[in-house]
């Protein structure tokens, strides 16, 4: 259980770092009028945010499972 929690924290931290990088890249692309690059970065950012949401949903389900026991 502790290992699983540690792994999920690592995954979440990794996703948060990737999201921060993409947000910075997007800001630069928008400021530089790089429309196609900005659009691609927005798509990537949405995917990462979706993965983060899924990761958090799994954690909530695991906690709910503990409460059921």
Q: Tally the domains of the chain.
A: 1
Mean of the per-residue pLDDT values of the chain: 85
Q: How many CB atoms lie within 10 A of CB 52?
A: 17
Over residues 53-62, the mean pLDDT reads 72
Query: What per-residue confidence (pLDDT) applies to 36?
Result: 97
Over residues 22-49, the mean pLDDT reads 97
Q: 59 pLDDT exceeds 70? A: no
Query: What per-residue confidence (pLDDT) applies to 6?
Result: 62
The boundaries of the domain holding residue 36 are 2-68
Q: How many CB atoms lie within 10 A of CB 22?
A: 19
Predicted TM-score (pTM) of this structure? 0.74
Q: Taking the mean position of all CA atoms in its chain, how far away is CA 37?
A: 20
């Amino acid at each position: 259980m502790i290992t699983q929690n540690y792994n999920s924290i690592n995954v979440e931290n990794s996703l948060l770092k990737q999201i921060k990088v993409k947000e910075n890249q997007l800001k630069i692309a928008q400021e530089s009028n790089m429309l196609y690059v900005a659009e691609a970065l927005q798509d990537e950012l949405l995917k990462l945010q979706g993965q983060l949401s899924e990761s958090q949903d799994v954690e909530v389900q695991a906690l709910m499972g503990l409460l059921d026991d």
